[in-house]
Structure 1
Amino acid sequence: MGAEHKIRNAMEVAEEAREEGIFVIPSSPLTLDISLPLPLLKPRVTGLCRELFKKWSHLDDSCFSIETVSGGITNLLLKLSVREDNGNDAFVTVRMYGPNTEYVIDRKQELLALPYLSAAGFGAELLGVFGNGMVQSFINARTLSPSDMTKPKLAAEIARQLCKFHQVEIPGSKEPQLWNDIFKFLESASALKFDDSEKQMKYDTISFREVSDAVKELKVLTDLLHAPVVYAHNDLLSGNLMRNDDEEKLYFIDFEYGSYSYRGYDIANHFNEYAGFDCDYSLYPDKDAQYHFFRNYLQADKPNEVTDKDLEALYIETNTFRLASHLFWGLWALIQAKMSPIDFDYLGYFFLRYSEYKKQKEMCFSLAQRYISGS
């Protein structure tokens, strides 16, 4: 899939959204080359914003400045500062999608969900879309680190916000997408060919029959839990959490993996991210830390009144879906290892996630099976 596919998606989504009365925002078919150095990228970004926002169309280059906010393993985020006619500075963020991310991300779903999430107080306001990205309002806050998420006060704040997030209603099918996505990733990941012989050798050591059996077995087990289905963030790592410490305000950002999914999966995925990209799973929260999070998630106004029964149920649910998170991101990483030009050891990341799945499987399965049987 090339740039043409992404342009068509962006334009189609903007048009569908207008027809459905969801939002009316400026759109452009232009695409930006994420691989360009910042000095070469600046005139293209400013030209795009002049086209999208007519109030800036007459401003010369000296009125614009640009800096990198982040360059993660999926997207590039830029901060654009604009000196307006009144002498004040306006700020927006320009998010450029990583190359080939349409293989693992439903951009149409993301764009359709954004206005509803923004109206509910989550994330930045969507201001415009272009061929391979979007322009949003600037959030004046710091990005959290994995160690921030472990602090009891912040953990409680994240839990309360996540509960509110899970109550947002997004139009369309309410069917959970987790297992559909995992099976789709499995199909794609099991049919890859690498030009790099060393990568191919590592890839060939993977038993996809074993992985397939693991996916099917876990799905059967999680189905027995009858976990609540919510609109989930699905990627609540530290880089997607921002906080303005002066205002004591927490922000969730980047909803590109958002979909209807299982409550326990979203929480478990967040807990797995305590490990950071180094995958130090010794940092996964212990039972006391999880219960602190659950109390604030289940009953923010009176966390100490949550019943032991409710705590246990959410503990079992979360720690069963903990395994699904490892399978999802492990298979995701295999596809990225083939498709992404970003310098990151995606293949190694698969082995880290799958290894942790195998390490935790017996304990997690045992917990769930005892709970289901009532013993």
Structure 2
Amino acid sequence: MVRQAEQARREEKRREHNNGEGLHEQRGRNLCKDLFLKWSSLDESCFTVETVSGGITNLLLKVSIRENSGNMDYVTVRLYGPNTDLVIDRKRELQALPHLSAAGFGAKLLGIFGNGMVQSFLDARTLSPTDMSIPEIASEIARQLHRFHMVAVPGSTEPQLWNDLLKFLDKAAALKFEDSGKQARYESISFPEIRDEIDKLKDLTTLLNSPVVFAHNDLLSGNLMLNDKEGRLYFIDFEYGSYSYRGYDIANHFNEYAGFDCDYSLYPQKETQYHFFRNYLEPQKPHEVPDDDLEALFVETNTFRLASHIYWALWAIVQAQVSSIDFDYLSYFFLRYNEYKKQRETCISVAREYLSRSAGS
């Protein structure tokens, strides 16, 4: 069984650590001393640096600082992985961060440097995939996502999903692998077929009029943190954030119910989705959501479910060429694209039937 992409993406932060752990610790200390005047004169012994979990395509370091007063302070240093600019728009991410932080999302941005940033440390645990389906947690995720989608980020509000998909497609279609086995598997992929699938899916989803919002686009369990004592849920890591479609963001989250083993039979059933939709659409009065609104969001979400599979399938092909971690990204492409083809007929039929009924009413 191919490990789920969440696990692979989280291994990015560990890929070079075995041989360079001391170097990263030294860098974490130096960055804190260089960026923050109040810590610049502290002895190196006042800094403790450790690798923490929860990163996607980065190395995350927790830095503990013992100040002269004896008080302890904590920050997170995030170092971008090599070649991540090929799959992540850092300019877009940095533009959005201050506005998301001001709205109370994620860790507070404290400083930016050449290939990373320093943020406040969140005292919370990373959720597991099974946590997301717990009704109380699902309700809170839905309520927070409703609020997240209300944040206005300056700049163009044009949805970026299809642009990003085609950029991935163009990059993926122009690769060449030195390994003959990988090259043979790569050559079995029909990129014209994928482009045709994207075009047809775009045409169909356009008819659903999904609201355009600033979306997280990567709301997997590892990007959700919970302080159990305070009952506070955090969204973190907005690297893939952009203006996109409401239904896509929710569908991408539902796809992540599959967990580390990519068991897509765990995709939430209709009533579980409705529970989420009620809390998303009306956080203060979820039981008052009209049935028509629930059905509309159900159709919208489960059509964009297909776009999520294509997105991460193409992402995987690019990663197969540029990533240095030991992961079979090409197999992950086939896993996601095959799941797309498995779900395509049902999802598209539901959408067309809904559109037909709506046109006739």
Q: Given the two structures, how large is their TM-score scaled by the length of structure 2?
A: 0.93
Q: Does 1:218 align with 2:196?
A: no
Question: Any idea what SS the aligned residue of 1:344 has?
Answer: coil
1:34 Cα offset (Å): 5.5
1:86 Cα offset (Å): 0.9
Q: Percent identity?
A: 69
Question: Any idea what SS the aligned residue of 1:368 has?
Answer: helix
Question: Any idea what SS the aligned residue of 1:289 has?
Answer: helix
Which whole-Å deviations, capped at 9, do the CAs of 1:252-274 have from their partners, x for residues lacking one? 00001000000000000000001
Question: 1:310: which partner in 2?
Answer: 293
Which whole-Å deviations, capped at 9, do the CAs of 1:121-159 have from their partners, x for residues lacking one? 100010111111110000000000000001000000000
Q: Which amino acid aligns with 1:103?
A: L
Q: Does 1:365 align with 2:352?
A: no
Question: Any idea what SS the aligned residue of 1:139 has?
Answer: coil
Note if contact 1:73-1:344 (Cα within 8 Å) is conserved in structure 2. Answer: no
Q: Does 1:336 align with 2:322?
A: no
Question: Aligned residues, how many?
Answer: 343
Question: 1:98: which partner in 2?
Answer: 81
1:177 Cα offset (Å): 0.2
Q: Does 1:207 align with 2:190?
A: yes
Question: Any idea what SS the aligned residue of 2:350 has?
Answer: helix
Which whole-Å deviations, capped at 9, do the CAs of 1:318-374 have from their partners, x for residues lacking one? 000000000011101100110111222211111111010000000000000011111
Alpha-carbon distance in 1 for matches of 2:67, 2:194: 55
Question: 2:100: which partner in 1?
Answer: 117
Match of 1:228 among 206, 211, 219: 211
Match of 2:231 among 233, 248, 251: 248
Note if contact 2:103-2:151 (Cα within 8 Å) is conserved in structure 1. Answer: yes
Alpha-carbon distance in 1 for matches of 2:117, 2:261: 29
Alpha-carbon distance in 1 for matches of 2:145, 2:23: 39
Note if contact 1:34-1:98 (Cα within 8 Å) is conserved in structure 2. Answer: no
1:103 Cα offset (Å): 0.6
Structure 2 portions without partners, runs of 5+: 1-14
Alpha-carbon distance in 2 for matches of 1:132, 1:106: 13
Aligned-residue Cα RMSD (Å) equals 1.3
Q: Which amino acid aligns with 1:337?
A: A
Which whole-Å deviations, capped at 9, do the CAs of 1:174-217 have from their partners, x for residues lacking one? 00000000011101101110111111111111111211111111
Higher relative contact order (CA 8 A, sep 6+): 2
Q: Which amino acid aligns with 2:193?
A: E
Question: Any idea what SS the aligned residue of 1:111 has?
Answer: helix
Match of 2:53 among 70, 75, 78: 70
Q: Does 1:135 align with 2:118?
A: yes
Q: Which amino acid aligns with 2:161?
A: L
Match of 2:167 among 173, 177, 184: 184
Question: 2:136: which partner in 1?
Answer: 153
1:73 Cα offset (Å): 5.1
Alpha-carbon distance in 2 for matches of 1:138, 1:41: 18
Question: 1:17: which partner in 2?
Answer: none
Question: 1:52: which partner in 2?
Answer: 35
Question: 2:7: which partner in 1?
Answer: none
Note if contact 2:54-2:126 (Cα within 8 Å) is conserved in structure 1. Answer: no
